[in-house]
Amino acid sequence: MKILIVLTSRDKLGETGYKTGFWLEELAAPYYRFKEAGAQIVLASPKGGKPPMDPKSNEPEFQTKQTRRFEADPEATGALANTVRLDSVSAGEFDAVFYPGGHGPLWDLAEDTVSARLIETTLRSGKPVGLVCHAPGVLRHTVDEDGAPLVAGREVTGFANSEEEAVLLTDVVPFLVEDELTKLRGVYSKAGDWQPYVVRDGLLITGQNPASSAPAADAVIDLVSKAMVSGHSI
């Protein structure tokens, strides 16, 4: 089992002067779920090298057992410091692709044609794609074989408008994930703010918020494991 984790290279939170990036829990929790399932993990980002971590995600109130484990793990931090460039990887090399969130992806990965083609190719190859929190916004320019929005008619979730309001960034982000998925005719649903919530529609797995990152990873593992047992694409 080989899984690609795609991280943002964006470190600027709009024009606020504050830093952003990926959200640590949304990387750490899935990373260890995948490791414990025996997966080989490759980390990638648009620019390669060390991607920016949202500094807020490593503040004491947002730390978890898994984030502390990740920070103390030389293998994990070494992989993070040396992500490969996204344009150097091929969907055919991996059994699944996973996107952690954080606000950064709304600026770079959401507009990245390499990322969009990776998602489309992975799904068309019968392999799962998982995205959590803000990362479902990365689907905004993806399309199906007929050129329609990839999420049109699909059940999806992602960071809720009410959650964005709670962190006071509604007027800072380039778009709201919930609104964008709805505009693209996705069948959007959500749970209560900050509650774990994962939606699976075929090979597309989306999670609402940081608390959804581990269960979203579990859903990806389940699909890959079943495919490996059957010896066929999912």
pLDDT along the chain (234 residues), means of 10: 97 94 98 96 98 96 95 97 97 96 98 97 96 98 95 98 97 97 98 98 97 97 85 50
**In the prediction, which pLDDT does 229 show?**
74
Burial 163-176, CB ≥16 within 10 A → b, else e:
bbeeeebeebbeeb
User: So what's the pLDDT on residue 233?
Assistant: 46
Angstrom distance (rounded) from CA 26 to CA 35: 14
Length of the chain measured in residues: 234
Q: What are phi and psi of 142, to 5 degrees?
A: -85, 150
Tokens of 7: 């991280």
CATH 3.40.50.880: does it fit domain 2-230? yes
Who contacts 229 (Cβ-Cβ below 8 Å, separation ≥6)? none
pTM: predicted TM-score of the whole model, two decimal places: 0.95
Phi-psi region at 188: left, alpha or beta (left = phi > 0; alpha = psi -120 to 50):
beta
Nearest-10 crossing angle of helices 74-81, 24-36: 120
Measured CA to CA, the distance from residue 162 to residue 7 in angstroms comes to 24
Q: What is the pLDDT of residue 71?
A: 95
